[in-house]
Each structure stands twice: as structure tokens, then as C-alpha cells.
Amino acid sequence: MSNDFAQFQDAFFEEAAEHLAIVEEGLLALEQHPEDLDLLAKIFRSAHSIKGTAGMFGFNAVAQFTHKMETLLDLLRNGQKVVTPQIADLLLKSTDCLKTLIEAAKSNEPVDNEVVQRLTGELAAASESGGQAAPQAGVAAKAASAPAANQGHTYIISWTPPAWLFQRGLDPLQIFKELGALGTLSEVTVDTTKLPELAAMDPETCYLAWTMKLNTVKDRKVVEGVFEFVREDSILKIEEGHEAREENRLQPASPSPLASNPLPIASGLAPAEGEEPKPLGELLVESGAVSRETLDKALSQQKRVGEILVEQQAVTPQQVEQALLKQRQQESAAHAKKTDTASIRVDTAKIDKLINLVGELVITQSMLSDLGARFEMRQMPILLERMAQLERNTREIQERVMGIRMLPIGTAFSRFPRLVRDLSAKAGKKIQLVLSGEETELDKTVIESIGDPLTHLVRNSADHGLEPPEERLDNNKPELGTIRLNAFHEGGSICITVEDDGRGLNRDKILAKGIKQGLITENDKLSDDQIWALIFKPGFSTAEKVTDVSGRGVGMDVVKRNIEALGGTVSIKTALGKGTTFTLKLPLTLAIIDGMTVRVGQETYIVPLLSILESIQPKPEVIKTVVGKGELINVRGTYLPMMRMYEVFSLQPEYTDPTKAILLILETEGERVAVMVDEILGQQQVVIKSMEQNFRKVEGVAGATILGDGTVGFILDVRGLLEMARRGTPVAA
């Protein structure tokens, strides 16, 4: 059971992460436009959602902390306080803290309570200081539940929620809980008159309406705020009442509807996910063939819930929470198998298209089998045509299915506004970040893995690419530095550029440093590109001082390695004094690559197209040896080491004479090598299959694939191949 519950928690964490992103993004935007009330409302809503769901799942630390944030946000929203840089900063810090709290809840690890407490204090202080708004908000949670609340207003609230309430996963109980937190909630009565016959009832529609009495010190706005999410289509009346009248109504009014028709409350207990509430759903199913027995059983079940609620006349949060928890546990048991740990959200439009395509595929298939059943030679053209259609369908389905894993890169970009904000503060520079191409889609796994390399590059640009404001002004540049992040498709790849208008790479400095580190000699004649490539060498840094953020070069080797691990490349364009652009070129997906099929003896191998520069058939005079053994190939003036693939892989080749064979010039991590194969068969897209799943890593092999004839072909790991060749001896496993 606990495990099933955990799966719901996963959904919460996913949702919370999204809301956190909205809050953070909103706060950053708010700094620029402090008066934007829509923005504030958006931030408030997200914070509110986190609080609500966190409370529901029993993550009290998260809920309590968010509540504090919400209090401050509420003051801002109501205009009782103004967004100052200090407040924005505090809220951002609090968002970080909230992130940590949620992480902690996820991993069940303890949190640094000191930070939480300090921020809680700061939030409370910020909420209190300044004006009469203070007493209301600053004491929010505590004062609200205290009996002293009686002194405030008494509101008679009548609320008819919209019919879609459950469909949107909203839970009236949450509202009651929140009202309860504002003061003393009593006399909650439910209007069940709209409730249809059991058989006609849609468990996802809300047929209920409530009236209740709330005694609170808060003013009307705060109370209205509780209905924030549902205000849209609700019929909501909040009247100021007075005690005497209510006392009279309290006793007779509430028990009767509750006791006689407790069922709707049960639906109120339905969890927020908008799933069908279990008892009702069951009842509905059963009502298809209503047997006395089942109905009785159902009724007795209802009564039990009803009794609880009668007792709860003044609904206390704890009781409700317990009931809710129980309900949720039942719920999660039923849906346990549905959720997967690593889930993906897919645009329904994508799925619709896919369904259409599968439909077409089925039609093509039936046309083909029809043709096959009574095939005559003269129908050959029709057969070929249908085969072509089948091919088209298959290819399109393949593309669309891959598309399901595609997410807009915006999710990876979203962390940068915050990063740049913090960096500019830290480095004392004025930096603006311009994002574009956020809607460009690429594989989920790629998105997840480029986050870190990108962060590195952005940091680098902020810290070392961009000059301090004075220097910029001296150089006739605007004080405000710009970092641009852009993503776009180019051919079968995706390009991501990180561009700054800073000082650019200094050729002489890098050269000097390279010589000093012994990476190059003074006599080396290097092209610009080769010089820029030096900054990707491990430990290479041109920064005079390495700051706490980074040094240009520190960690750049890691960036390059990470990108290449994804089958991508990094290139640099730079102009002294004008700026630097890093371009990452990545395959769209990791599951399919463009490959060149080559033959060595009887075996077929696939070489990733990305690493192939060219292929040549060498003339005898370009082949030289060093120390009698090491073979080098002169390719237009540059000598490249030659590797005989049959040697490395212990195969029987067709040719041992390089002039008869084909040399593939491959490049990996800036190194070039000529690899000798017997023949190039052609170019094709291959689906990567794991070798490790059932066997283990094979040196020099990046993975396997299924070739056209159904046999297995290996995809070469160029890096590994190089290392094997360098060692000279194949490792016999």
C-alpha cells in the first residue's frame, strides 16, 4: 500500500517541480515588472497548488513553508505591499529553500532547519513590517486556528462550485481546510438537491453546493482568495453575518442533509487527481444490475461516511485529512499499476496523429494481404506500389513514435534566467539573457543531459566572456552585456548556441598558455580552430584568476566530453572584442543514428555518420611508416595514424593492402584517424540496441543494431577503437 501511495507522490513531485519553475520564472519576471498583478496571481496560484498538494500528502514542512511564502505573496497581490528588490530576492531564496524541502521530502532526508527557520522568520518579518497589513498576514496560520479568531468577522459563505470541479482535479475539501485555517469554520451544510439518480450520475461531475459559516479575523479578500481556483465558474456569495442568527440555524440545519444524504460528501473526498472516486465508481458499475444486496451494502457504506460527517459538523482538518488519506490509499491501490516511475507528458495531438497513422498502416496491411491471397504476376506494379505505401507508413510511424520522446528544449532553458540573474549579481556585471528557439524539440534524454554542459557554457560567458560594465563602456559597448541562447534544427541535428557579446577569446593568450602547459610548441602552426580547441583540453584555463564561478577552460573538457558522449560536437566562433559563440550540435535522438555500413571480411559494421569526415582510397605513396610499424596516411598534407580494423577486431579481411581497401577518416574529440575497411556498403539510419542488456560492454562497440536481413550489426565506438589501436593488443575477455 505504501508503495502505491509512493506512486502518487511521484506525481506530486513532478507537479511540484512544474509549479516551482512557474514560481521562479514568475518571480524573475516580477523583478522587471513589479506592478504586474497577473504575474503575481500566477505565482500565487502555483505556490498555492504546491501548498495544497503538499499538505494532502503529509509533507507538512513543505506546506507550512509555502504557506509563509503565500502570505507574503498575498500581501503583494492585494497591493498591501510593494515588490521591492529585497522582497523579490527573499522570495527567490525561499523558492530555493522550498526546492530543497521538496527534494528532502522526496529522498526522505533531513533538511538544514536553520535555513528554513531563518527564511521563515524573514518571510514573516517581511509580511509584518510596514503598515496595517501586518497583523492579518504575519500571524496567518497560528492566529487563524486560535480561538481568538472569534473576535473577527463572521461570514456566511454559500458556494456552488462549477460542475467541472472534479474533472480539473480540484477538491472542495481543500477549500474547507483552508477556510478552517483562516478561522473557525462551522455549520458546513451541503445542498444535495441537484444530485441525480445514482444510475444517471456522472462521478466526475460536481452536483453539490455548500453553505458554511466562517469566523475569522481576516477580511473578505483573504476569504475570497481561498476560492481562487474555482472562482471562475462558481456561484460564490460571501456575506457578513452576525452571531445570533447563525447560532439558531446551526443545530437544525446541518445534521439532516448530512445524515440523510451523505453520499455527495464522499465524492467530496475524492482525490485531487480527478480520477473517478472509487466508491461512487463502484456503485455506478454495480447499479448496472442493481441487486438488493449490493445496494444495501453500498448504502451501509454510505451511512458510515455520513456518520463521520455528522460528527464532523464543524469539519476539523485532521479528521478530514485522515478520511482523505484513507480514500487516497484505496484509490492508489486501484491505480497502482498505471503510473510509471519515469513518465513523460505527451501532447495529445501527437497521439492522435499516431493513431491515425496506425489506422492507415492497418489498411495498407489488409490491402497487402488481400493482394497476397490471390496474387498474379501481372499485379506486380500494384504490389510494388502498396509496398511503397507500407514503407511510407512505417517510416512516418517511426518518426512520430520518436516524436513522443521529443520535448521542447524550453524545459532545459528555463533554469538560465535565474542562473544569469545570480551570476550578474555575483560578478557585478549587467547581463541580459535572451532566449530563442525554446519550442525546438529534442529527445527527453538529450534534454536531460545537456543541462549541465549548457550551464557551464552560460556561466563561462557570464564570468569570462562578458567584461565588467566599466570596461564595456570604455570599449564603446553598451553597459548591459547580452548572452543569447538559441536552439534550432539543422539537417538531422539540433544546434544550440550560447553567444555572448563579450571580449572574445584571446588568440595570443591561449597560445601562450598552450605552450606553457606543453600542449603545443612554439613552432606549431595552428589554425584558429585548432587554437580554440585548446580550451577544451583538461585543466586549460586562460582566466588570470579563477573565480568561484568558473574559469574559461576550467571544466570545458567536461563540457566537450559530455556533448560527445551524446554523439554531438562543440565548435567555437569568436572575434576579439566582439564576443564568442559556442555551438553545440546534437543528434535529435539517442535511439536512432545515421550510420555508414561498412564491410570487413564477412562482417558488417556501422560507423556513426557524425564521426566520418571523408573516405579515401589511398595511393601507395601516401602511406608512410614510423619506427617500421606505425602507419601514417598523408591526407592533403596532414599525416594521420592508420588503423586496420581487421587487426583491432581480429577479423579475416578481404584486403590487407590499404591501396585496395577503403580508408575512412574519422574524427573524435578533435583527434583524427584513418580506419581501414574492405568496402563501404551504404548509408542508413539504424536503431540502437543495447549490448549490455543481455551481455556486457564490448570494447570498440557502442551498441548493436538489426540489419536489413535480420542479423545483428555492431555500431562502432570510434573513441574506444582508437584506444584499442593505441594499446595495440586487443583485450581478450
Partner 1 sequence: MAAAVETITKDSSQQTGLTTDDSQFLTFSLGEELYGVDILRVQEIKGYTAVTKIPNTPPHIKGVLNLRGTIVPIVELRTKFGLPTIDYTMFTVIVVVVVQDKVMGLVVDAVSDVLNIDKKDIQAAPEFGAKVNVTFLNGIGKSGDKLISLLDIDRLLIDQEIKEALATAA
Q: Which helix (H) or strand (E) holds 14?
A: helix 2-32
SS3 54: helix
Under the criterion CB under 8 A, does residue 730 sit at the interface with partner 1? yes
Contacts for 651-656: CB closer than 8 Å, 24+ residues apart: 651/600, 651/601, 651/602, 651/603, 652/601, 652/602, 653/600, 653/601, 653/678, 654/599, 654/600, 654/601, 654/678, 654/679
Under the criterion CB under 8 A, does residue 699 sit at the interface with partner 1? yes
| Residue 390 Cβ vs partner 1, minimum distance, rounded to whole Å | 19
Out of 210, 536, 582, 649, which residue is the one contacting partner 1 (CB under 8 A)? Answer: 649
Contact segment (CB under 8 A) with partner 1 among 175-183, 582-590, 654-662, 692-700 equals 692-700
Given a contact cutoff of 8 angstroms between Cβ atoms, the answer to whether 143 and 244 are in contact is no
Q: Output the DSSP codes for 265-300.
A: HHHHTS-TT-PPPHHHHHHHHHHTT--HHHHHHHHH
Residue carrying C-alpha cell 520518436: 402
Out of 224, 670, 691, 720, which residue is the one contacting partner 1 (CB under 8 A)? Answer: 691
Under the criterion CB under 8 A, does residue 107 sit at the interface with partner 1? no
Contact segment (CB under 8 A) with partner 1 among 271-279, 298-306, 665-673, 700-708 equals 700-708
Contact segment (CB under 8 A) with partner 1 among 9-17, 335-343, 445-453, 699-707 equals 699-707
| Residue 461 Cβ vs partner 1, minimum distance, rounded to whole Å | 42
Closest CA to 77 of 35, 48, 46: 35
- Residue 181 burial (CB count, 10 A): 17
Out of 1, 299, 388, 712, which residue is the one contacting partner 1 (CB under 8 A)? Answer: 712
Dihedral-angle region of residue 645 (phi above 0 means left; psi in -120 to 50 means alpha; beta otherwise): alpha
Q: CA 449 from chain center: how many Å?
A: 11
Under the criterion CB under 8 A, does residue 397 sit at the interface with partner 1? no
| Residue 705 Cβ vs partner 1, minimum distance, rounded to whole Å | 9
Strands (E), 112-229: 153-160, 183-191, 209-216
Under the criterion CB under 8 A, does residue 647 sit at the interface with partner 1? no
Contact segment (CB under 8 A) with partner 1 among 270-278, 331-339, 674-682, 691-699 equals 691-699
Closest CA to 382 of 374, 360, 356, 394: 374
Given a contact cutoff of 8 angstroms between Cβ atoms, the answer to whether 674 and 662 are in contact is no
| Residue 338 Cβ vs partner 1, minimum distance, rounded to whole Å | 24
- The C-alpha cell that represents 34 in the structure block: 513589479
Under the criterion CB under 8 A, does residue 704 sit at the interface with partner 1? yes
Complex with partner 1: residue 30 or 704, whichever CB lies closer = 704
x/- site string to partner 1, residues 650 to 669, per CB under 8 A?
A: xx------------------
Torsion of CA 36, 42, 43, 49, to 10 degrees: 160
| Residue 321 Cβ vs partner 1, minimum distance, rounded to whole Å | 41
Under the criterion CB under 8 A, does residue 61 sit at the interface with partner 1? no
| Residue 728 Cβ vs partner 1, minimum distance, rounded to whole Å | 13
Question: H helices then E strands: how many in the chain?
Answer: 26, 22
| Residue 404 Cβ vs partner 1, minimum distance, rounded to whole Å | 18
| Residue 667 Cβ vs partner 1, minimum distance, rounded to whole Å | 22
Under the criterion CB under 8 A, does residue 402 sit at the interface with partner 1? no
At 145, the amino acid letter reads: S
3-state DSSP of 524-548: CCCCHHHHHHHHHCCCCCCCCCCCC
Under the criterion CB under 8 A, does residue 715 sit at the interface with partner 1? no
Measured CA distances, 353 to 55, 65, 348, 357, 403 (Å):
39, 43, 9, 6, 11
Complex with partner 1: residue 567 or 703, whichever CB lies closer = 703
Given a contact cutoff of 8 angstroms between Cβ atoms, the answer to whether 691 and 700 are in contact is no
| Residue 674 Cβ vs partner 1, minimum distance, rounded to whole Å | 19
Complex with partner 1: residue 221 or 727, whichever CB lies closer = 727
- The C-alpha cell that represents 524 in the structure block: 606549431
Contact segment (CB under 8 A) with partner 1 among 75-83, 102-110, 475-483, 703-711 equals 703-711
Under the criterion CB under 8 A, does residue 648 sit at the interface with partner 1? yes
Closest CA to 677 of 699, 701, 658: 658
Out of 134, 572, 698, 720, which residue is the one contacting partner 1 (CB under 8 A)? Answer: 698
Given a contact cutoff of 8 angstroms between Cβ atoms, the answer to whether 597 and 605 are in contact is yes
Contact segment (CB under 8 A) with partner 1 among 14-22, 167-175, 580-588, 683-691 equals 683-691
Under the criterion CB under 8 A, does residue 139 sit at the interface with partner 1? no
Distance CA 484, CA 466 (A): 12
Under the criterion CB under 8 A, does residue 689 sit at the interface with partner 1? yes
| Residue 729 Cβ vs partner 1, minimum distance, rounded to whole Å | 10
Under the criterion CB under 8 A, does residue 526 sit at the interface with partner 1? no
- The C-alpha cell that represents 370 in the structure block: 488481400
Out of 154, 714, 717, 719, which residue is the one contacting partner 1 (CB under 8 A)? Answer: 714
| Residue 650 Cβ vs partner 1, minimum distance, rounded to whole Å | 6
Closest CA to 513 of 565, 568, 553: 553
Under the criterion CB under 8 A, does residue 700 sit at the interface with partner 1? yes
Complex with partner 1: residue 159 or 649, whichever CB lies closer = 649
Under the criterion CB under 8 A, does residue 695 sit at the interface with partner 1? yes
Complex with partner 1: residue 672 or 697, whichever CB lies closer = 697
Strands 235-240 and 153-160: antiparallel
Complex with partner 1: residue 248 or 394, whichever CB lies closer = 394
Out of 86, 366, 475, 690, which residue is the one contacting partner 1 (CB under 8 A)? Answer: 690
Out of 200, 377, 627, 733, which residue is the one contacting partner 1 (CB under 8 A)? Answer: 733
x/- site string to partner 1, residues 579 to 608, per CB under 8 A?
A: ------------------------x-----
| Residue 402 Cβ vs partner 1, minimum distance, rounded to whole Å | 16
Closest CA to 416 of 536, 505, 498: 498
Complex with partner 1: residue 108 or 341, whichever CB lies closer = 341
Site size toward partner 1 (CB under 8 A) is 27
Residues that bind partner 1 (CB under 8 A): 603, 648-651, 689-691, 693-696, 698-701, 704, 706, 710-714, 730-733
